[in-house]
Chains A and B, each alone.
Chain A
């Protein structure tokens, strides 16, 4: 499978003034019972969306596609459903000063851009979005910059993920180009390393 390519994206910015947004908030466990990879838009922030004053219940933020969050976004559970839910809702980019490792990895596999922006710049973007709701943010993966109103800020992303996003490359396909090396490695594994089969108990 190839991943959707990402080069540049422009869309309404959504200020989520909160740090430590864990994956249980992004998508509560009750929605993880589904066996599909799509159709999670209703699940995104479902507990918070029940409150009228939540940002995604307000025009024009409900049409947003660039989420601007506090630090430590995506902590907790490894559920990739968190990325699927953000994408299904319409988000293409999340900006934060720090992402949880597994969430960032999952984003890179699914074509959701997790762009690390300095907290000072996040604060400026929040102010701009709150003062001028509906402001569009442009995120350029080639130049690694975010433009919001008059502000242009750099963001960080590791080079490998950036390359894969730009090219829309599927990890498994890339790895299988090295299948011979995997096979040779397997031949060197000590015989006492555990095997699950045949089952012993």
Chain B
């Protein structure tokens, strides 16, 4: 991180307050710091080998009271009252249940109101708070940085390390400021900001860095929109992404089940208000993005950096100067079955997936519902709506959003990671093309041979109406009479 005489960045402040033991040496020879971990989130996929490691070494799990588990990657989004059909998925879930019982870890299982995607559950319970260190055996742990926490994904060996010691050995990360100034236009969201950032700095541009998202456009965002941005920090190769906590953060947290109360709340807020980058702090790198001119952003290729504005066309490999980028584009176009020069808006999709730890929170569902309300789905489109948690699903149903989606012809599912990575039955068929609000468009990510375009919930909803990649401005105005008739029908 930057020099010691200048003021500290947010990331440095959080890091420094968690150092149990400073690593010896300096520069390249510096040993890692031993960093305390405030919150360890656990799910079924990356934990079984870690629990087994503890058992083999005869070690206890040091802090069950700082650990929480949920079932998300393997869980079906239909028939959740029946036994999980896939025996390997079932075994993995059952293994998590047995491990949590043996080691005293709180677990939210399928059917529980707090079950859901681990990165949706932590914030919704108020466990994710400013200034914490948060880890999970999942790269999208960066989501929690939206609260001003230092949150990052780890591998299974590190999961075991945290279970055994509540610490990690790490070298300090470098810091990068992502300055986003201006005001987003209607229909442009935080998803578009982060897709544009990744296209700008590349999938490796953030490697070794913690990104701090700053500027007026970030300040204007809701907590859920901030989570979307921080979530995809890993897609730029960064260890973590952060937003300094402010009134929006405190407002979101207040009254949540695990938020501090009374005098504790006051003490916490007083501390949280200090969690901002000092004016004279130096970042190791800075990036600037103009929010005023940003348009809806979508990907055309097979890594999240291969994106363009929705109003543009599929690029040609010849557009890239770098030989590797050229080869990568060529390969991506073949896999995606796209021709250079095709307007993005002419690309017809088969499936629209609204879900994942990036965009499955209540606001995402509201935004999509507002666009489809009173409109008809393109008959050839399959649309799946998968709330991020059982709690989000209940909330949406209380607001009648489920009915809006069902009237439209979308499938209203139970909570989980679902088609983001297809570990459960929700997968694309070979060759199937999907507009997805998730985070990765890698080859085969959503199902073998499946083709993914990453989009915002706004673009997802408009695409479901029109059948090709679209934004709301491409849609015909809603027929108010039809909208009223539809809502009267559903009320009846």
Contact = CB atoms under 8 A, between A and B. Distances in A.
B139 A178 contact: no
A178 B21 contact: yes
Interface in B190-209: 202-204, 207-208
A98 B209 CA distance: 14
B57 interface: yes
Contact of A201 (B113, B239, B324): B113
Which of B65, B169, B239 neighbours the largest number of chain A CB atoms within 10 Å of its CB?
Answer: B169
Interface string B130-166: 0010000111000000000000011111101100111
B28 A171 contact: no
B20 A185 contact: yes
Interface residues of B, number: 91
B154 A172 contact: no
Interface string A130-145: 0000000000000000
B160 to A, nearest CB: 7
A196 B127 contact: yes
Interface string A166-182: 00000110111011011
B92 A75 contact: no
B423 A29 contact: yes
B165 A182 contact: yes
A80 B159 CA distance: 10
B303 interface: yes
A105 B154 contact: yes
Interface string B170-204: 01000000000000000000000000000000111
Contacts, number: 218
Contact of B204 (A33, A75, A194, A200): A75
Contact of A109 (B34, B106, B126, B157): B157
Range, interface on chain A: 35 or more
B91 interface: yes
B324 A178 contact: no
B164 A47 contact: no
Contact of B324 (A71, A101, A172): A71
B445 interface: yes
A78 B153 contact: yes
B165 A18 contact: no
A70 interface: yes
Given A158-B28, A194-B127, A176 B165 contact: yes
B87 to A, nearest CB: 9
Nearest to A73: B204
Contact of A178 (B34, B91, B113): B34
A102 B92 contact: no
B328 A78 contact: no
Interface stretch (B41-49, B355-363, B364-372): B41-49
Interface string A186-201: 1001111111110111
Interface stretch (A6-14, A20-28, A59-67): A20-28
Contacts of A24: 421, 440, 442-445
Given A32-B423, A78-B138, A159-B29, A102 B48 contact: no
A190 B18 CA distance: 12
Contacts of B169: 160, 171, 174-175
A197 B164 CA distance: 18
Contacts of B207: 72, 98-101
Contacts of A99: 207
B442 A22 contact: yes
B215 interface: no
Contacts of B257: 200-201
A22 B155 contact: no
Contacts of B312: none
A176 B164 contact: yes
Interface in A61-113: 70-72, 75-81, 83, 98-102, 105-106, 109-110
B422 A29 contact: yes
A182 to B, nearest CB: 6
A115 to B, nearest CB: 16
A110 B157 contact: yes
Contacts of B31: 160
A150 interface: no
A83 B92 CA distance: 20
Interface in B262-285: 264-265, 267-268, 271
A33 B74 contact: yes
B317 interface: no
B125 interface: yes
Interface string A31-45: 011111100000000
A78 B421 contact: no
A17 B64 CA distance: 45
A102 B34 contact: no
A100 B264 contact: no
Contacts of B67: 196
Nearest to A200: B257
B155 A106 contact: yes
B38 to A, nearest CB: 6
A25 B113 CA distance: 34
B154 A171 contact: no
A174 B165 CA distance: 10
A200 B258 contact: yes
A130 to B, nearest CB: 15
B391 to A, nearest CB: 9
A94 B95 CA distance: 32
Contacts of A77: 138-139, 421, 440
Interface of A: 1, 17-20, 22, 24-25, 28-30, 32-37, 47, 70-72, 75-81, 83, 98-102, 105-106, 109-110, 158-160, 171-172, 174-176, 178-179, 181-182, 185-186, 189-197, 199-201
26 contacts: A1-B57, A22-B440, A29-B445, A35-B95, A37-B52, A76-B442, A78-B153, A78-B154, A78-B155, A80-B137, A99-B207, A101-B237, A105-B158, A106-B158, A159-B28, A172-B59, A172-B165, A175-B164, A176-B164, A178-B34, A190-B271, A191-B264, A193-B132, A194-B39, A195-B258, A196-B39
Given A24-B444, A193-B38, A194-B126, 15 more contacts: A17-B327, A29-B421, A29-B423, A33-B91, A37-B156, A71-B204, A105-B155, A110-B157, A181-B21, A182-B36, A182-B167, A191-B264, A194-B132, A196-B39, A201-B257
